[in-house]
Structure 1
């Protein structure tokens, strides 16, 4: 059986490519018969009017009536199936329902699938490569030269400098020699910039394969979006025939896992590698759910329209709560043990049969959900069926990791495990997402209610067994031995809880000590800020665990993060704030003496607006002003800027320097303040405030060996 891994849609035909891989030769064939399809549901008379309106349309291949299920838990009914001549015509034809009917009179299904995924779904094609993929990595500098010409390219780690013609020819030669299945690029603009440079030089650049090798396609333009209160930027996407193009800077899964993890999700979702690489977590999860829907003859709604069920004010107050949180006991605790429920939320979905069609169904009236009293149908839900193999497979991968010593095999398993982890993490939250294809807010509420009940039961059993709970969050609990009671072994308690709730409570390990950090504006514990020392180093060799503090934050310069970790090591060694202050003073001295590499002081931040939309003169604005004069492309809202603060007292663009400018100086006082802030997180569990640290630094006249250790 031929295994195609990428698909090009050109002039109404589908070019299906096999990778070169180990054979060294890529092949393709052409499918000229493929007709993408979507469905329309409504009263027969209204559908008939829509069908008549479509008759003269040149993009319509066939129209007929078929029976499909409009949703899980619903019976099959007649719907109109429209076969289009091209994948691009599907959304255009679907929008024409508004010309013949009101929005509620006709509903469209299976409309907004990405092209390659649609093809694989409708033709039952598995796009998973069965051979090793060959790759070439191309990287172009973002900064433009004075004459606007390309003068540098990095190919598989080797930098080529010279004229624009030299750069173009170097790329063409390497691609021709390697014939890569996958082109990795450092930015979306690499593809059009290379073709533009070749055109300027009168050269023909063949980045692709086959008869259209010297062309490229724009699959999507750049866009800005809002998600969970943050502004994001989605760069443009480009395709070259016969190869997979992956933009490293825009691939979440490649960044968080590896190529093996991406390919595992290709097999599970049937989204070919190029589409999987740019997809979000929710996009891949939805693809997996769509496959489950197809197996059940269930259609996929175009726009989510499931309304929230009616609730009283009291029931809404009870339902509108998150997962379990237990305010941490601020301070430094010794002999701490962590226990975690394995994949708690996915396992709640599986073991409690939570699915959009099972929660508050029409056929059951039992009060199954704690606090809320929602009923859950006895019939098996589709969502547990989707998640059960993912949970089981990840558990099996984790077991394999414990036994595997081969580095290559470990990398593969770690990538697959991480990819599944992200899918499982999102499956719960996606139930509460308004645009989720198969989401339902009552499922989200039910999962949270079960989670709160399970964690509270676990807490009660741990305390009854002689353990004090010092913190609890979502699916984890941290305990210490109670001084006034004898303790049952934690492994025994975990087995008892596991048997009671039907979800495995795992003993994660012991800590010599854990420090829970207070909020900056109060003495109350911050839920997600803590750090500690493992009793035994982890399998990866880590001696410490850090969560929520500066060294874990994306915007923190690497120097500040490394110093914070050094301060934690000093605290672990001496267990008193004075040694930490001495160590901090030494690093501040190094800053003021200019002994810190400016490249270690880069701040990474995401913009929330375009340059013209900002009204305050922030460091981000200064960075955008510099980028405006340095880069060919604009910096839209949601993009990332990287800069070093060179003089925070100045105004405008002189305040910072971009990473690409390779700054040679920095504002020592600004970064010293950042160090003190990081040190505050380390010493706050001991009752020290930032003001107290600053006073201690000012009063320091003698130093200990810790300052220079």
Structure 2
């Protein structure tokens, strides 16, 4: 099976198949990618002859053809113009020329099958499955952060071994490793390693150095680095490179490889038809779109270049009712004992599949009088929606994988490698299922529709309310519920012999809602945390002790936040253990005091105090002297490039300063830190633990001051 595809400048295409020994290549020179042009609305009748004549004269067009295709799921076969292009790099620019044709009013024409990634397009148009038939070999190259902005590396990690010395030494080590391992995949800490190594080879006259399996091309740059904003967060996309015959996974620019593993990536390769290199850098939405495009392709439906689906007309009252999210029960702040958690299995994906919620069937014309969606008066067609065919196989596959994980775990000697493989595949599918709901409301989704988003939420609210009513009728009290999870504890007003078994209730709810309600866990206790400046419960901040286990379930508090230093996390987790043992604030405070003593004595290793924060602007874009700014200034002075959307890691050494001396970067030789700053962070973390018991940071500081010695020598 072809696992990676290379496109050469002269139009040739290289298909690489992995074998047990190396890789074999098939060279093709007859590939012509295709895009389509059609009228934007079926209500118009546009003659495409003039456009066809224009394209036939273009030197980059190989052929044109007028035929019939479906320009959308809600449209039947219509006349479309197919344009075959000489080189894959010219597809987008040729499609743009449609907008410049004076013979057609602006907006009357639309292009389809335009903005596909290269390898995915090739597989789709040629019916290729890019899932490797054999295991892929890998080689990891990693550069220290201090070397990332240099033109010449003095240190590099190759296949797990650190190599340092002259450029010739580095290049020799890399070349030897490449020849020894002959990797199908180069796993790089940053893709900039590729051009830097070749630049080093040029400056040192190391003409024999190469990473490529194709002698004519060393490497190609596929995209430049860029900064983007998504849902209010700034992200950074580094430059992307291609080495013929090998796939590249850039660890600084991969979601699925970082969140799962290679097995998870390959599982999605088989479902999306995106080869491993493209899938590694793709976002969740990008992969979900690829799976949807495959389904559209199988149904003979073209893929719009730009999304132009208007929102269906609805009365103001319906708009008000529809513009709501999932149902949330306000948590009861405090510590609750004997708590049980129940979760609906893949609630939103299962709503889509069991209720047939899909962009092509929601609010159909053929059933306009029906009220299928609770509270919204939306009709859903009886015809099976395409989104169901996209998601149902993923839901079924994940259920099968989870069942296999349980069977493997029950073995006397579980196969850890097999468990790791299954976990990676399960996690990869989980992320697709998590995103499938929100993507329906994304304005740039190829096939999304806001009415689907609204309908899914409406069904979810109804389902959670149904579950609440049945649980309360069975003698249980709901202490929190959010979207697809619900926490209950025995109702004290109901006698134990009159209280129904949760398994029985869950079975009833599953049958009623047609979605499985699973018993997730029993907790000795669960604490729901109040908001910082309010007595109301924070919706997503809680922690609890799993019954019969040493495990704590933690959500939202500092130990789950990516910016929290390891020392703060460790102390908070120890405080949870103390709270579990005693249910008393005193034991938690003793733990805090001990941590403060260690902190002020300087006993805490500096590498356990590193904070990690994302940069949202370039250095000159900031107006306030924050810690991030100080860290950026230090990085700039050291010649290190930190772009918006990337992380910066530092230790606070003197928080009273406003200059770059306020912090030290994590890779620097730091010998000191600011104990007063980290004391504040510690107290904030302990406040999260004690706030369900009614304590705030003022109470904590007062309790500390009552027992602190007035002699400060104990801090020394």
Q: Is the structural similarity TM-score above 0.5?
A: yes
| Residue of 169, 194, 199 corresponding to 2:197 | 194
Match of 2:602 in 1: 594
Match of 2:379 in 1: 375
Within 2, Cα distance between the matches of 1:296 and 1:45?
A: 24
1:549 aligns with 2:561: no
Deviations 1:383-412 (A, max 9, x none): 011101100110111110001121011011
Q: Note the 1:505-524 alignment, pairs <5 A.
A: 505-524=517-536
1:489 aligns with 2:501: yes
Cα distance change on mapping 1:24 and 1:145 into 2, 3 Å: closer
1:281 aligns with 2:284: yes
Aligned residues of 2:152 and 2:196 also touching (Cα < 8 A): no
Aligned residues of 1:339 and 1:505 also touching (Cα < 8 A): yes
Within 2, Cα distance between the matches of 1:45 and 1:435?
A: 26
Cα distance change on mapping 1:271 and 1:103 into 2, 3 Å: farther
Match of 2:428 in 1: 419
Aligned residues of 2:626 and 2:658 also touching (Cα < 8 A): no
| Residue of 545, 551, 560 corresponding to 1:533 | 545
Match of 2:646 in 1: 639
1:317 aligns with 2:316: no
Within 2, Cα distance between the matches of 1:511 and 1:675?
A: 26
Match of 2:399 in 1: 395
| Residue of 635, 638, 644 corresponding to 1:627 | 635
| Residue of 149, 156, 172 corresponding to 2:152 | 149
- The alignment of Structure 1 onto Structure 2 pairs a total of residues equal to 692
Within 1, Cα distance between the matches of 2:442 and 2:662?
A: 40
Aligned residues of 1:332 and 1:513 also touching (Cα < 8 A): yes
Match of 2:592 in 1: 584
Aligned residues of 1:459 and 1:469 also touching (Cα < 8 A): yes
Aligned residues of 1:128 and 1:266 also touching (Cα < 8 A): yes
Within 1, Cα distance between the matches of 2:667 and 2:139?
A: 24
| Residue of 266, 271, 292 corresponding to 2:269 | 266
Within 2, Cα distance between the matches of 1:690 and 1:312?
A: 49
Match of 2:26 in 1: 29
1:570 aligns with 2:578: yes
Cα distance change on mapping 1:36 and 1:498 into 2, 3 Å: same
| Residue of 665, 679, 683 corresponding to 2:690 | 683
Cα distance change on mapping 1:387 and 1:511 into 2, 3 Å: same
Q: Following TM superposition, by how much is the alpha carbon of 1:701 offset from its aligned partner in structure 2, in angstroms?
A: 4.5
Deviations 1:73-121 (A, max 9, x none): 3211110000101111110100001111444211000000000000000
Which 4+ runs in 1 deviate beyond 4 A? Answer: 43-46, 144-148
The SS at the match of 1:241 is coil
Match of 1:706 in 2: none
Within 2, Cα distance between the matches of 1:468 and 1:638?
A: 44
Q: Following TM superposition, by how much is the alpha carbon of 1:170 offset from its aligned partner in structure 2, in angstroms?
A: 1.1
1:162 aligns with 2:165: yes
Deviations 1:324-351 (A, max 9, x none): 1000000000000000100000000000
Q: Following TM superposition, by how much is the alpha carbon of 1:685 offset from its aligned partner in structure 2, in angstroms?
A: 0.1
Match of 2:215 in 1: 211
Within 2, Cα distance between the matches of 1:400 and 1:547?
A: 27
Aligned residues of 1:68 and 1:78 also touching (Cα < 8 A): yes
The SS at the match of 1:289 is helix
Q: Following TM superposition, by how much is the alpha carbon of 1:381 offset from its aligned partner in structure 2, in angstroms?
A: 0.5
Q: Following TM superposition, by how much is the alpha carbon of 1:148 offset from its aligned partner in structure 2, in angstroms?
A: 5.3
| Residue of 173, 176, 180 corresponding to 1:173 | 176
TM-score by length of 1: 0.96
Segment of structure 1 superposing worse, 225-234 or 421-430: 225-234
Cα distance change on mapping 1:95 and 1:46 into 2, 3 Å: farther
Structure 2 unmatched ranges of 5 or more: 409-413, 710-716
Within 2, Cα distance between the matches of 1:96 and 1:652?
A: 52
Match of 1:655 in 2: 662
Deviations 1:179-223 (A, max 9, x none): 10000000121111111111111113201112235x111111111
Match of 2:85 in 1: 84
Within 1, Cα distance between the matches of 2:362 and 2:165?
A: 65
Match of 2:566 in 1: 558
Segment of structure 1 superposing worse, 68-77 or 491-500: 68-77
Q: Following TM superposition, by how much is the alpha carbon of 1:29 offset from its aligned partner in structure 2, in angstroms?
A: 1.3
| Residue of 2, 5, 8 corresponding to 2:3 | 5
Match of 1:707 in 2: none
Match of 2:95 in 1: 94
Within 2, Cα distance between the matches of 1:482 and 1:45?
A: 68
Cα distance change on mapping 1:442 and 1:155 into 2, 3 Å: same
Structure 1 unmatched ranges of 5 or more: 703-709
The SS at the match of 1:277 is helix
TM-score by length of 2: 0.95
| Residue of 446, 461, 472 corresponding to 1:463 | 472
Within 2, Cα distance between the matches of 1:174 and 1:511?
A: 50
Q: Following TM superposition, by how much is the alpha carbon of 1:4 offset from its aligned partner in structure 2, in angstroms?
A: 1.1
**RMSD, aligned CA:** 1.4
The SS at the match of 2:360 is coil
Q: Following TM superposition, by how much is the alpha carbon of 1:662 offset from its aligned partner in structure 2, in angstroms?
A: 3.7
Deviations 1:571-604 (A, max 9, x none): 1111100110110011111111111111111111
Match of 1:475 in 2: 484
| Residue of 95, 99, 120 corresponding to 1:117 | 120
Cα distance change on mapping 1:247 and 1:145 into 2, 3 Å: closer
Within 2, Cα distance between the matches of 1:371 and 1:479?
A: 27
1:140 aligns with 2:131: no
Within 1, Cα distance between the matches of 2:119 and 2:398?
A: 27
Match of 2:62 in 1: 61
Deviations 1:534-578 (A, max 9, x none): 1123xxxx6110011100011111111111111100111111001
Within 2, Cα distance between the matches of 1:566 and 1:190?
A: 41
Within 2, Cα distance between the matches of 1:597 and 1:307?
A: 57
Q: Following TM superposition, by how much is the alpha carbon of 1:147 offset from its aligned partner in structure 2, in angstroms?
A: 8.5
Within 2, Cα distance between the matches of 1:437 and 1:140?
A: 38
Aligned residues of 2:149 and 2:639 also touching (Cα < 8 A): no
Within 2, Cα distance between the matches of 1:254 and 1:102?
A: 46
Within 1, Cα distance between the matches of 2:531 and 2:276?
A: 43
Segment of structure 1 superposing worse, 305-314 or 257-266: 305-314
